[in-house]
């Protein structure tokens, strides 16, 4: 190897890559097509290679461990301590450990007791245990080793020969780096600081103006527009945009630049190549590929929650993926609508098969099988293998073909798995599944993935990455007084008094550091622009005081888009009339038409059904069904009240118990994981309780016979055939009938007031349409806190709560007799039916109808009448109004 | 004391002070002046901590301080001279500190941000670990914690029993319980503290309950005494009559509350044990409707024509119509027995156990999500600061400086948690310096500690606020704490009481009006426990010339119209004054329903600052529909909404056709059902969604939604572009955040998050002089004209809380908490104890309403307009209870009635029907959204990408480890050549193998096998001819790990070649080590496979070397485990 080539060390890996690219560009420009790669390394990378060489070429008995392994050790000893179960403290310890070595602070064991806060005291303790642990296992972490390096070099137990060149160190070396460099020099190598000719153009004077933007997004957009204009003028230019809080805003940068550089691509056309590159990356766990992999690994083979199932069904990385709208998407919609919050793998498989997603169904089965067989504790390396196997079972990585970015992420993921396997070395023994998964997930959250730079002319950089580079033009954003100088960052685990010389740990240090950084940045290009953003009204910001003599130029607000020419279709309230006379979905349409004609049209004739995912536990609708079925069961074979009253107390109890149990069985067969065993027991008990009280009410009524339960009827109204189901029909002592509607929600017979927009036309509709018109209708309100009949009758029917029409007040006070009521009902209901049939679909909600309607976006009610849609809003701070108890069936 | 003296006292940097500063009294300047004064006595700015109520206030305070510190700053304002002088005095110190360059050194923070700072400073002591910026909304995590706890119902956990009891009590409504727990987690600071205050033991809680009942009875007793006295009614007479009545009733065997007086010998005492007698007394004196009886009958134990009856009638006559008496007795008779029922207690106990467990679970959830909320931080900060028992934490060990001065703004809105924080921060400020801290001051200069003592360097607390403006009860602000701190100090620290009186903001007329109209409705006496604040009158600091008007109208629409006209006229009148500003301030946003359209009709431009739910904005609803359509491609409703939105705008008929009359619009030929313009419109939507599908999980969801929106021309279709785009941006940010928080997996979570997102209102600019906002939003601001419409409206929204508790300040100044039992699902009404608490809450709400009125009315500088809507057809014109108008009625009711009579009846005619607009707005046919142009660019030297295996294979990883170690060994040998390797070196290398393998991650029980593999391969290589040849140093230009770069097919390649040299024939060899191994038969086949597999890679190396030096090149694989050199052509 041509050792005479100097070794070039840079502060950051990015700078090393950039320098290598610069060399390449120079070589290519000279016409060369291959060359021996220059030796350019970032300081940390070089240290790592030195460490590797050392342990290869010496007999040092220790085994070096990497930060991930060290983290595991810290975790193991902090976890064992009584802390709040917060393993992340280990990350803090790791960081403090590093800082101590980087800045050559006194080692914890030498900290005077007087200096110790609770935090530093604890850390001192942990550090001692950590060191004991390392010594016992013969391990040495990177920082402990680097701290030995100067001595090793001076002792000639390690040698660095030739020339070492330091490039791009705009900030002073850390004390440890300085010691190492000094030791290299004393060992005979030549150490020099690189000064490139041709970079003397750099200026150090402060800029004379700084632009103020309203918010950071505007600022970034302006920087992107500037970069594009600059490149259009000079295609060869190398540009940089510096963002002080880049890591916090990573997610936005890409979009901001794409919007400017590639508007069609931003608007979802096939994106073009990206002439910008962002120097930081998101945590690996946040890249969709890894996030999906982790979601798959986190699946529970005993039962899958809807959110987790949704992730699997929508993951494009699993084999057999199809573009939007395919079988898996349909299965997802069905899952959302029809399944319980938690489903068995079996249920999920059936659902997938029903929609034709057979491959995924099969894969799930195979996965479940594998998981069941490989659940016991194992070494990290075994877990790595198992995890991969699980992913393979589901065809992970073999779905939609991967693009180059996804390939890179996949590779990084594989590296992560491999390094996870390397925890074997620091582990005591096999790990349980949850531990392994949690550790892997944590590591994926800490590891960063950054895409490789294709040589983009525009770089978006954090301050540290930008220092030391040279550009043709540079835009420094975020130059506000909160960020420059930044806040003091003292390490909480190290006594404050010992950190006086750590740059970021004191306010003076911060100020000095900020000045250095700003000087460095100002020198990085012949053309420098500066800006900051004012921030929100809540949190207004000023320009950094470091830009003393600078004029603040207020940037103009971004231009509003040109408004599109618009037209108006007047009164679009009329849809095509129904072709046939069968309404879809039954009698409920009347209520919808009454609530809001548009809603009836949208739900019934456009298929705008609500797609709201379930929550854990029984929902009100399921509970209603349960009560319905239990009551049906209860009355089956019990002809009338006499028979009911003939039952002994014990027999009655038993009958109720059996009815509820049967209904519960039906329910849980449909939704296997809807109720746990305890849940089922509790539900059985509460249902029995409420039914007992209910039956007690029935026992005290005037005598009756139950004619029918859950009777299917087809009724014809206003030319519309409607399908319905009458919960119960009773025959009263005088031979007339009573229609009963079981409700587990709220009821009010005022909703039967005969008017064009009736609150609840359902029972009246049955009443007027049946061949044998009833003489009474009633809600059976089965709510524990308000158990009662709530009805209206022609005369007294001997049941509390079922009022004689003649005595009824309020809504019915002007109606003289039953037949007038029936006529009036018929008239209004037929009108409703007729309106629906005729396609009348005005957006015209009854008061309060919008509150629980899911169609706001479709009917555009807020645009039409902004205040109709909302009930009075509560005082600030109080939550949203509670939803009503669901209607039954 | 004059204001001048009060101010002077307030800024004395050696004294701890609490200042009551009413509206317009120049509080902010006072704070700044105090701060600047403290800079003169502090040794570093970090010694001074200022706590503000909002971030905005913190930023403003910082800016004002910096402005005063600017040497070039001048001001003529009289009230700023003090601050200016102090700023000049510290100029040198400020320069030395570099304070102006480094304003971060000003420790001015909100309480939340200070808690964050503390928790971050002491991650271990606070037990929080590394602290991310707290999230504003952690509802989803609360829910997760609640769910996790609920799953414990099914197991052997001790919680199971409690959960089951709770669920059973609440009718097994598990979702409600989940909601309850999740909601309570958001307020856990309150009940956790409450539980800490009163250990959840039955006796303790019942003792508190008894104390509350006693307290209530005390006031009843006082009132009864007073009434009897003022009516010259002898209590003993009453006692005798009661006894008589009781005996009579007993004799007749009748049931009555009065029976409790069978052996009564005095009027009931303020003691819960006397409750039966209270009920007896009430029964005797009051009717069922809580009015004083006009006569007694045998039902009360007074048979007709008895002397006792006559005596009793005389008493009743004396007391006739006395409301105070009726009120006092009515209250007393409704008081609950001060104990829980056994079952109630069991359930409450279970709830408390469950809650406590949920809070613990939340910490675990937070820890694993790496998040926390403000409550979590506050608790952590308090923990970190230590306590009296275990010693307070010395912040000097964590920070550069110890905090020596604290200023707190808006102290009337403080809560218990904040007070405790202050107590801890100031612990020991009055006492001796703790001995352990002495030595540390050595760092601050020689003998600093001694000097500090000698000089008596002061440590001071400064609290400022206005109890009359305490309006954050819903955030647990406890106005009583202001009074308590004033009277009892904070911790051991006593405070000077300073009060400002002058109002510099409002015209004299307004100040007087507020004094005379609001003053009397405030309670006469302050009551620390109940949060009742007495009124403190202000003095006008400005001359007259302003006006206060009272208006009343018969209908909402009439009111809206009149208000709009009034504003339009005022704006016209002051058109010449560029600084003229007006505001409409309402209690709740819904009260604007009629006013906003009326303003539009009158052509008044306004800037609405009120916070609408973000999800109520049409533009946001479009974006939500897009989000749904992308997340759930089978969501028909979302797709329909997009098709109906202005960007597409299908008519009902076209929608119906597309949807195939309800059969579905997801089938592939849906589009075929539309023709012409309709088809084109729909195709745009379908196209955008298809492309979004391609980008699914390739680009962030936020970008997909925004991209699709751009594509459809959404931004160009807004009706109010500036506001709409701002709302859209807010939504997209919320979406992105929710995505990062993992909420999009469950739409319910996302909806819950969205429900608490609010619009920022119209952006500034646009020249509107009228602002519209809520009373809470108006706090701290001022306008020339302030209009308060809709004073008759009720605030709306009731709480459906399941758990009720009532914190209050006990007479000794400590916090007490009353817990009500949970209502059983079967109960239709709240039990008495809950009623008691709710009544108490309501009373406090009434006090707060008075303060809200004070805040609203004191916003006006020149003109204040109050307006309400009243029903003129009522027999007695009066406001509904619970409205602000009702509060105002005693002093101003007559004005409203008079105003109503003056309102011309035709004003009502201006009403406009609220018909829902039915037109369909959409882009013109054929319009295409602007597309923009792509910047043309291609990478000049893109790095070459290597193909990779899709599957990660653990066996491969194992092999890679041994491979890597082999590699490194061979590299080591190759560096000097095999000829230079003596037996000793070889032995040492072999000895290192296990260590090297461990360093690669090989676990102990596999070390032996792996080492054997490496050792054997290494040995085989060193002994084989091929191996020795490859590693020989006889070759020319030999190297290991040679890095080489070049351009191949326009792509940049960086390669590292394991081994290369030029042999005797001048042939350049390129050799890659491959540690593959083949055990079975058909070795030849395996080798062929390997050659094939690495051919491409070697060809690349070959090209590089050919480009580098020309000449003949041979490429080969070397397989150490087979000791074979395989030439690859
Ligand atoms: S939101 Fe209101 S207006 Fe719109 S469809 Fe539903 S009920 Fe009708």
Residue-wise pLDDT tens digits, B536-580? 999 999 999 999 999 999 988 889 999 999 999 999 999 999 899
The answer on pLDDT for A855 being more than 90 is yes
Among B42, B124, B914, the residue to mutate for chain A (most A Cβ within 10 A): B124
Let me know if A28 is exposed, middle or buried by CB neighbors in 10 A (0-12, 13-18, 19+): middle
pLDDT of residue B800: 60
Distance CA A137, CA A344 (A): 45
Beta strands in B53-170 (DSSP E): 107-110
Cα separation values, A396 from A294, A326, A364, A414, Å: 11, 18, 12, 13
For residue B429, the distance in angstroms to the closest alpha carbon of chain A comes to 20
**Cross-chain Cβ contact A275/B129 below 8 Å:** no
CA atoms within 13 A on the CB side of B409: 26
Residue of A nearest to B726 (CA): A560
**Nearest one of B624, B626, B619, B623 to B685, comparing CA atoms:** B626
What pLDDT digit, counting tens, does each position of B763-813 carry? 877 778 999 999 998 988 999 999 999 999 987 655 566 778 888 777 777
**Nearest one of A273, A262, A219 to A242, comparing CA atoms:** A219
Report the share of chain B in percent with pLDDT over 70. Answer: 95
Position A177 confidence tier, pLDDT thresholds 50, 70, 90: very high
What pLDDT digit, counting tens, does each position of A442-488 carry? 999 989 999 888 889 999 999 999 999 999 999 999 999 888 998 89
Cα separation values, B958 from A53, B954, B1014, Å: 22, 6, 12
User: Between vectors from CA B522 to CA B520 and to CA B527, what angle results, nearest 5°?
Assistant: 135
Which letter does DSSP use for residue A885 in this model?
P
What pLDDT digit, counting tens, does each position of B976-995 carry? 888 888 889 899 999 999 99
Q: Where do runs of H (alpha helix) occur along B636-675?
A: 636-644, 652-658
Using the Cβ of A65 and the Cβ atoms of chain B, whether some distance falls under 8 Å is answered with yes
- CA–centroid distance, A856 to ligand 1, in Å, is 6
Distance CA B1011, CA B1020 (A): 14
- CA–centroid distance, A886 to ligand 1, in Å, is 18
Distance CA A421, CA A324 (A): 37
- CA–centroid distance, B615 to ligand 1, in Å, is 15
**Greater confidence, A76 or B148?**
B148
For residue A819, the distance in angstroms to the closest alpha carbon of chain B comes to 34
Could you say which of A89, A576, A841 has the minimum Cβ distance to residue B129? A89
**Cross-chain Cβ contact A455/B940 below 8 Å:** yes
What pLDDT digit, counting tens, does each position of B167-224 carry? 999 999 999 999 999 999 988 888 888 787 766 788 888 888 888 888 889 988 998 8
What pLDDT digit, counting tens, does each position of A540-578 carry? 888 998 887 789 999 988 888 889 999 999 889 999 998
Q: Are B684 and B639 in contact (CB under 8 A)?
A: no
Which residues neighbour B638 within 8 Å (Cβ) at sequence distance 6 or greater? A857, B624, B625, B626, B627, B628, B629, B632
Output Rg (C-alpha) for chain A, integer angstroms.
37
The answer on pLDDT for B129 being more than 90 is no
What pLDDT digit, counting tens, does each position of B10-20 carry? 999 999 999 99
Chain B residues in contact with A430 (beta carbon < 8 A) = none
Position B398 confidence tier, pLDDT thresholds 50, 70, 90: confident
* Arithmetic mean of pLDDT, B704-713: 96
DSSP A771-821: SS--SEEEEEE--GGG-EEEEEESS--S-TTEEEGGG--GGGTT---HHHH
What pLDDT digit, counting tens, does each position of A234-288 carry? 999 999 999 999 988 888 899 999 999 999 999 999 988 999 999 999 999 999 9
Position B401 confidence tier, pLDDT thresholds 50, 70, 90: confident
Which letter does DSSP use for residue A167 in this model?
-
**Cross-chain Cβ contact A606/B722 below 8 Å:** no
The answer on pLDDT for B902 being more than 90 is no
pLDDT of residue B613: 85
Which residues line ligand 1 at a C-beta cut-off of 6 Å?
A: A 595-596, 598-599, 843, 845, 849-850, 853, 855-856, 859, 861
Structure tokens given for A815: 């109606």
Using the Cβ of B1052 and the Cβ atoms of chain A, whether some distance falls under 8 Å is answered with yes
- CA–centroid distance, A868 to ligand 1, in Å, is 9
**Nearest one of A159, A132, A165 to A15, comparing CA atoms:** A165
What pLDDT digit, counting tens, does each position of B62-74 carry? 999 999 999 999 9
User: Between vectors from CA B414 to CA B378 and to CA A873, what angle results, nearest 5°?
Assistant: 95
Q: Are A24 and B1045 in contact (CB under 8 A)?
A: yes
Residue of A nearest to B642 (CA): A858
Output Rg (C-alpha) for chain B, integer angstroms.
40
Could you say which of A570, A785, A864 has the minimum Cβ distance to residue B825? A785
Q: Are B1116 and B1126 in contact (CB under 8 A)?
A: yes
What pLDDT digit, counting tens, does each position of B798-852 carry? 556 677 888 877 777 788 888 888 888 888 777 888 888 888 888 888 899 999 9
Could you say which of B367, B920, B953 has the minimum Cβ distance to residue A86? B367
The answer on pLDDT for A322 being more than 90 is no
pLDDT of residue B910: 47
pLDDT of residue B456: 63
Q: Indicate whether this complex's ipTM tops 0.90.
A: yes
The answer on pLDDT for B326 being more than 60 is yes
The answer on pLDDT for B946 being more than 80 is no
Position B1102 confidence tier, pLDDT thresholds 50, 70, 90: very high
Report the share of chain A in percent with pLDDT over 90. Answer: 74
CA atoms within 13 A on the CB side of B163: 26
What pLDDT digit, counting tens, does each position of B336-385 carry? 888 888 988 999 999 999 999 999 999 889 888 888 899 889 989 998 99
Using the Cβ of B1070 and the Cβ atoms of chain A, whether some distance falls under 8 Å is answered with no
Which has the minimum average pLDDT: A529-533, B437-441, B934-938? Answer: B437-441
The answer on pLDDT for B500 being more than 90 is yes
What pLDDT digit, counting tens, does each position of B719-735 carry? 888 889 999 999 999 99
Q: Are A176 and A519 in contact (CB under 8 A)?
A: no
DSSP A471-521: -SEEEE---BTTTSSPPP---TTS-GGGGTTSGGGSHHHHHHHHHHHHHHH
**Cross-chain Cβ contact A613/B649 below 8 Å:** no
Whether omega for the bond prior to residue A468 falls within 30 degrees of 0, making it cis, is no
Residue of A nearest to B631 (CA): A314
For residue A783, the distance in angstroms to the closest alpha carbon of chain B comes to 8
Using the Cβ of A56 and the Cβ atoms of chain B, whether some distance falls under 8 Å is answered with yes
The answer on pLDDT for B911 being more than 50 is no
* Arithmetic mean of pLDDT, A496-516: 92
Which has the minimum average pLDDT: A197-206, A493-502, B703-712? Answer: A197-206
Distance CA A70, CA A93 (A): 10
**Cross-chain Cβ contact B659/A604 below 8 Å:** no
CB atoms within 10 A of CB A224: 23
- Paired sense of beta strands B48-52 and B107-110, if any: parallel
Question: Token pair 């057809």 is at which residue?
Answer: B873
Position A45 confidence tier, pLDDT thresholds 50, 70, 90: very high
Long-range contact set of residues B220-226: C-beta below 8 Å, sequence gap at least 24: B220/B270, B220/B278, B220/B328, B220/B329, B220/B331, B220/B332, B221/B267, B221/B268, B221/B269, B221/B270, B223/B324, B223/B325, B223/B327, B223/B328, B224/B267, B224/B281, B224/B325, B224/B328, B224/B329, B226/B324
For residue A177, the distance in angstroms to the closest alpha carbon of chain B comes to 25
Q: Are A296 and A391 in contact (CB under 8 A)?
A: yes
User: Which numbered atom of ligand 1 lies nearest the CA of A595?
Assistant: 7
Chain B residues in contact with A496 (beta carbon < 8 A) = 396-400
B 258-317 residues inside an 8 A Cβ radius of A: none
Using the Cβ of B154 and the Cβ atoms of chain A, whether some distance falls under 8 Å is answered with yes
Q: Are B116 and B346 in contact (CB under 8 A)?
A: no
Position B944 confidence tier, pLDDT thresholds 50, 70, 90: confident
What pLDDT digit, counting tens, does each position of B404-463 carry? 999 999 999 999 889 999 999 998 786 544 444 444 444 444 344 444 444 567 899 999
The answer on pLDDT for B913 being more than 50 is no
Q: What is the mean pLDDT of chain B?
A: 88
pLDDT of residue A204: 55
The separation between CA A526 and the C-alpha centre of its own chain, rounded to angstroms, equals 44
The answer on pLDDT for B889 being more than 90 is yes
A 318-357 residues inside an 8 A Cβ radius of B: 323-325, 329-330, 332-333, 336
Residue of B nearest to A282 (CA): B740
* Arithmetic mean of pLDDT, A98-103: 97
Residue of A nearest to B368 (CA): A86
Q: Are B396 and B437 in contact (CB under 8 A)?
A: yes
What pLDDT digit, counting tens, does each position of B632-681 carry? 999 999 999 999 999 999 999 999 999 887 677 777 778 888 989 999 99
- Report residue A864: phi and psi, to 5°: -85, -40
Q: What is the mean pLDDT of chain A?
A: 90
**Cross-chain Cβ contact A784/B171 below 8 Å:** yes
Structure tokens given for A162: 């030739």
**Cross-chain Cβ contact B703/A258 below 8 Å:** yes
Q: Are B671 and B643 in contact (CB under 8 A)?
A: no
**Nearest one of A481, A449, A486 to A464, comparing CA atoms:** A486
A 168-207 residues inside an 8 A Cβ radius of B: none
pLDDT of residue B906: 55
Residue of A nearest to B993 (CA): A56
**Nearest one of B50, B104, B119, B111 to A504, comparing CA atoms:** B104
The answer on pLDDT for A683 being more than 80 is yes
Burial track B35-72 (b if 16+ CB lie within 10 A, e otherwise):
bbbbbebbbbbbbbbbbbbbbbbbbbbbbbbbebbeee
Q: Are B533 and B413 in contact (CB under 8 A)?
A: no
Map residue A72 onto helix, strand or coil: helix
């Amino acid at each position: 190897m041509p050792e005479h080539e100097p070794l070039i060390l840079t502060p950051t890996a990015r700078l090393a890559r950039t320098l290598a690219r610069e060399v390449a560009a120079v070589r290519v420009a000279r016409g060369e097509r291959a060359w021996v790669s220059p030796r350019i390394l970032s300081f940390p990378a070089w240290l790592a290679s030195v460490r590797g060489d050392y342990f290869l070429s010496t007999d040092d008995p220790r085994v070096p461990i990497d930060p991930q392994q060290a983290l595991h050790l810290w975790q193991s000893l902090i976890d064992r301590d009584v802390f709040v179960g917060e393993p992340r403290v280990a990350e803090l310890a790791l960081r403090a450990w590093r800082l101590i070595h980087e800045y050559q602070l006194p080692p914890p064991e030498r900290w005077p007791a007087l200096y110790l806060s609770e935090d530093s005291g604890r850390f001192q303790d942990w550090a001692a245990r950590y060191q004991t642990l390392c010594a016992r296992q013969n391990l040495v972490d990177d920082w402990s080793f680097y701290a030995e390096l100067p001595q090793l070099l001076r002792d000639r137990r390690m040698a660095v020969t030739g020339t070492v060149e330091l490039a791009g160190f705009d900030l002073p070396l850390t004390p440890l780096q300085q010691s190492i460099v000094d030791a290299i020099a004393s060992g005979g190598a030549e150490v020099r600081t690189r000064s490139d000719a041709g970079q003397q153009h750099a200026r150090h004077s402060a800029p004379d103006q700084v632009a103020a933007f309203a918010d950071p997004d505007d600022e970034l957009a302006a920087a992107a527009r500037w970069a594009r204009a600059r490149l259009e003028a000079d295609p060869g230019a190398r540009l940089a945009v510096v963002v002080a809080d880049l890591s916090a805003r990573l997610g936005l940068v890409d979009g901001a630049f794409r919007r400017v550089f590639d508007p069609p691509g931003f608007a979802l056309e096939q994106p073009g190549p990206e002439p910008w590159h962002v120097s930081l990356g998101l945590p690996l766990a946040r890249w969709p590929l890894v996030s999906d992999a982790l979601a798959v690994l986190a699946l529970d083979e005993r039962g899958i929650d809807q959110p987790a199932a949704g992730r699997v069904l929508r993951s494009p990385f699993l084999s057999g993926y199809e573009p939007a709208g395919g079988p898996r998407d349909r299965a997802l919609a069905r899952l959302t609508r029809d399944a319980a919050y938690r489903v068995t793998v079996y249920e999920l498989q059936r659902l997938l098969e029903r929609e034709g997603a057979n491959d995924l169904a099969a894969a799930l089965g195979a996965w479940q099988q594998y998981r069941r067989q490989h659940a016991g504790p194992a070494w990290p390396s075994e877990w790595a293998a198992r995890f991969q196997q699980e992913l393979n079972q589901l065809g992970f990585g073999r779905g939609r073909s991967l693009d180059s970015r996804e390939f890179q992420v996949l590779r990084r993921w594989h590296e992560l798995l491999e390094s996870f396997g390397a925890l074997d070395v620091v582990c005591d023994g096999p790990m349980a599944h949850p531990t392994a998964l949690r550790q892997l997930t944590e590591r994926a959250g800490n590891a960063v993935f950054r895409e490789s730079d294709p040589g983009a002319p525009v770089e978006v950089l954090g301050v540290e990455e930008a220092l030391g580079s040279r550009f043709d033009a540079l835009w420094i954003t975020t130059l506000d007084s909160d960020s420059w100088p930044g806040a003091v960052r003292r390490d909480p685990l190290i006594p404050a008094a010992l950190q006086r010389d750590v740059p970021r740990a004191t306010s003076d240090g911060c100020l000095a550091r900020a000045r250095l950084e700003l000087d460095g940045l100002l020198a990085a290009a012949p053309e420098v622009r500066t800006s900051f953003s004012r921030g929100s009204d809540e949190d207004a910001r000023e320009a950094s005081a470091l830009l003393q003599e600078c004029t603040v130029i207020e940037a103009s607000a971004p231009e509003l888009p040109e408004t599109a020419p618009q037209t108006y279709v007047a009164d679009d309230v009329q849809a095509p009339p129904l072709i046939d006379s069968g309404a879809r979905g039954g009698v409920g349409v009347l209520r919808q038409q009454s609530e809001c004609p548009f809603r009836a049209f949208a739900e019934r004739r456009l298929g705008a059904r609500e797609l709201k995912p379930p929550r854990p536990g029984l929902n009100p609708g399921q509970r209603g069904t349960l009560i319905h079925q239990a009551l049906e069961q209860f009355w089956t074979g019990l002809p009338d009240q006499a028979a009911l009253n003939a039952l002994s107390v014990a027999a009655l109890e038993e009958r109720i118990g059996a009815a509820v149990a049967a209904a519960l069985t039906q329910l849980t067969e449909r939704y296997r994981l809807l109720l746990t065993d305890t849940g089922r027991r509790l539900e059985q008990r509460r249902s029995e309780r409420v039914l007992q009280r209910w039956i007690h009410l029935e026992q005290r009524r005037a005598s009756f016979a139950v004619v029918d339960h859950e009777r299917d009827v087809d009724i014809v109204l206003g030319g519309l055939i409607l399908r319905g189901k009458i919960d119960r029909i009773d025959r009263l002592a005088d031979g007339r009938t009573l229609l009963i509607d079981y409700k587990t929600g709220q009821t009010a017979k005022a909703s039967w007031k005969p008017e064009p927009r009736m609150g609840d036309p359902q029972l009246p509709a049955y009443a007027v349409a049946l061949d044998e018109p009833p003489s009474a209708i009633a809600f059976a309100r089965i709510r524990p806190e308000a158990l009662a009949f709530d009805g209206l009758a022609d005369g007294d029917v001997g049941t509390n709560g079922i009022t004689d029409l003649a005595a009824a007040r309020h809504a019915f006070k002007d109606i003289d007799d039953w037949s007038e009521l029936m006529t009036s009902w018929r008239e209004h209901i037929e009108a409703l039916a007729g309106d629906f049939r005729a396609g009348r679909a005005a957006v015209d909600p009854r008061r309060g109808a919008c509150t629980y309607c899911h169609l706001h976006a479709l009917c555009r009610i807020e645009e039409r009448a902004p205040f109709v849609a909302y009930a009075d809003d509560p005082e600030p701070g109080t939550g949203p109004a509670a939803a009503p108890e669901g209607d039954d069936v | 004391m004059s204001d001048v003296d009060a101010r002077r006292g307030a800024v004395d940097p050696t004294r701890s002070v609490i200042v009551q500063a009413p509206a317009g009294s120049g509080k902010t300047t006072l704070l700044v002046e105090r701060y600047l004064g403290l800079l003169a006595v502090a040794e570093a700015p970090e010694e001074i901590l200022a706590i503000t109520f909002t971030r905005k206030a913190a930023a403003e305070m910082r800016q004002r301080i910096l402005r005063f510190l600017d040497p070039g700053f001048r001001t003529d304002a009289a009230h700023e001279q003090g601050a200016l002088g102090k700023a000049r005095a510290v100029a040198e110190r400020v320069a030395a500190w570099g304070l102006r360059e480094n304003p971060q050194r000003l420790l001015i923070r909100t309480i939340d941000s200070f808690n964050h700072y503390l928790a971050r400073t002491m991650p271990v002591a606070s037990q929080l670990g590394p602290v991310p910026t707290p999230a504003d909304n952690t509802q989803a995590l609360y829910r997760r914690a609640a769910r996790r706890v609920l799953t414990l119902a099914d197991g052997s956990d001790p919680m199971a029993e409690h959960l089951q009891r709770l669920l059973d009590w609440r009718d097994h409504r598990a979702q409600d319980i989940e909601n309850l727990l999740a909601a309570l987690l958001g307020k856990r600071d309150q009940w956790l503290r409450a539980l800490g205050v009163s250990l959840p033991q039955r006796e303790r809680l019942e003792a508190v309950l008894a104390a509350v009942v006693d307290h209530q009875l005390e006031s009843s007793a006082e009132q009864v005494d007073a009434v009897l006295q003022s009516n010259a009614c002898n209590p003993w007479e009453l006692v005798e009559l009661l006894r008589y009545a009781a005996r009579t009733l007993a004799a007749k065997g009748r049931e009555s509350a009065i029976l409790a007086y069978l052996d009564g010998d005095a009027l009931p005492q303020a003691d819960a044990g006397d409750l039966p007698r209270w009920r007896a007394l009430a029964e005797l004196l009051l009717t069922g409707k809580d009015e004083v009886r006009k006569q007694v009958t045998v039902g009360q134990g007074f048979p007709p024509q008895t002397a006792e009856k006559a005596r009793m009638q005389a008493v009743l006559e004396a007391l006739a119509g006395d409301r105070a008496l009726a009120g006092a007795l009515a209250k007393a008779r409704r008081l609950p027995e001060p104990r829980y029922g056994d079952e109630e207690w069991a359930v409450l106990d279970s709830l408390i156990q469950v809650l406590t467990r949920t809070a613990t679970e939340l910490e675990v959830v937070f820890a694993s999500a790496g998040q926390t909320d403000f409550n979590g931080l506050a608790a952590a900060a308090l923990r970190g600061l230590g306590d009296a028992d275990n010693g307070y934490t010395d912040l000097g060990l964590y920070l550069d400086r110890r905090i020596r001065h604290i200023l707190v703004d808006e102290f009337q809105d403080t809560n218990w948690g904040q007070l405790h924080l202050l107590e801890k921060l100031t612990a020991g400020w009055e006492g001796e310096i703790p001995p352990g801290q002495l030595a540390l001051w050595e760092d601050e200069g020689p003998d600093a500690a001694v000097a500090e003592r000698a000089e008596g360097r002061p440590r001071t607390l400064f609290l400022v606020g206005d109890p009359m403006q305490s309006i954050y009860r819903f955030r647990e602000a406890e106005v009583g704490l202001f009074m308590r701190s004033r009277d009892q100090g904070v911790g051991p620290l006593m405070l000077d009481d300073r009060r400002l009186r002058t109002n510099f903001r409002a015209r004299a007329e307004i100040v007087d009006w507020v004094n005379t109209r609001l003053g009397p409705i405030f309670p006469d006496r302050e009551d620390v426990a109940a949060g009742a604040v007495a009124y403190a009158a202000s003095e006008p600091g400005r001359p007259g010339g302003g006006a206060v008007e009272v208006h009343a109208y018969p209908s909402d629409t009439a009111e809206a119209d009149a208000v709009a006209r009034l504003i339009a006229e005022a704006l016209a009148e002051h058109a010449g004054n560029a600084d003229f500003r007006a505001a409409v301030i309402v209690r709740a946003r819904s009260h604007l329903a009629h006013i906003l359209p009326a303003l539009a009709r009158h052509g008044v431009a306004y800037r609405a600052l009120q916070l609408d739910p973000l999800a109520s904005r049409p533009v946001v609803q479009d974006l939500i529909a897009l989000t749904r359509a992308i997340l759930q491609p089978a969501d028909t409703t979302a797709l329909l909404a997009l098709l109906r939105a202005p960007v597409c705008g299908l008519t009902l008929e076209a929608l119906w056709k597309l949807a195939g009359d309800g059969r579905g619009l997801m089938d592939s030929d849906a589009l075929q059902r539309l023709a012409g313009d309709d088809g084109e419109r729909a195709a745009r939507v379908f196209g955008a969604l298809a492309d979004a599908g391609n980008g699914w999980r390739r680009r962030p969801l936020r970008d997909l939604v925004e991209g699709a929106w751009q594509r459809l021309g959404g931004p160009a279709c807004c009706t109010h572009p500036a506001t709409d785009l701002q709302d859209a941006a807010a939504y997209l940010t919320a979406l992105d955040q929710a995505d990062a928080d993992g909420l999009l997996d469950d739409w319910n979570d996302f909806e819950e998050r969205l429900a608490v997102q609010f619009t920022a209102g119209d952006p500034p600019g646009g020249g509107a002089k009228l602002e519209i906002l809520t009373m809470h939003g108006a706090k701290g601001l001022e306008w020339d004209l302030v209009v308060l419409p809709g004073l008759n409206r009720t605030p709306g929204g009731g709480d459906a809380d399941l758990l009720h508790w009532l914190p209050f300040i006990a007479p000794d100044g400590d916090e007490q908490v009353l817990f009500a039992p949970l209502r059983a699902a079967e109960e239709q009404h709240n039990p008495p104890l809950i009623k008691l608490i709710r009544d108490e809450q309501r009373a406090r709400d009434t006090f707060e309403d008075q303060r809200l009125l004070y805040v609203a009315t004191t916003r006006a500088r020149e003109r204040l307009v109050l307006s309400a809507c009243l029903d003129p057809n009522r027999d007695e014109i009066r406001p509904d209870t619970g409205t602000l108008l009702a509060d105002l009625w005693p002093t101003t009711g007559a004005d409203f009635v008079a105003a109503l009579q003056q309102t011309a009846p035709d004003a009502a005619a201006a009403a406009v029907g609220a018909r829902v607009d039915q037109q369909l707005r959409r882009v013109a046919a054929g319009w295409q959204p602007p597309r923009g142009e792509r910047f043309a660019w291609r990478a000049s030297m893109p790095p070459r990408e290597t193909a990779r295996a899709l599957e990660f294979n653990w066996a491969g990883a194992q092999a890679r480890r041994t491979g890597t170690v082999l590699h490194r060994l061979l590299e080591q040998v190759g560096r000097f050549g095999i000829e230079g390797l003596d037996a000793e070196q070889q032995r040492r290398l072999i000895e290192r193998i296990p260590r090297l393998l461990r360093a690669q991650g090989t676990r102990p029980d596999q070390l032996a096998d792996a080492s054997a593999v490496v050792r054997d391969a290494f040995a085989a290589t060193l002994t084989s001819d091929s191996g020795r040849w490859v590693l020989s140093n006889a070759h020319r230009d030999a190297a290991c790990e040679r890095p080489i770069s070049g351009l191949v097919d326009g792509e940049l390649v960086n390669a590292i070649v394991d081994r290369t040299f030029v042999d005797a024939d001048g042939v350049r060899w390129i050799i890659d080590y491959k540690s593959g191994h083949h055990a079975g038969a058909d070795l030849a086949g395996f080798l062929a496979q390997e050659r094939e597999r690495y051919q491409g890679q070697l060809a690349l190396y070959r090209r590089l070397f050919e480009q580098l030096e020309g000449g003949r090149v041979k490429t080969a694989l070397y397989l150490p485990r087979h000791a074979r050199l395989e030439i690859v052509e």
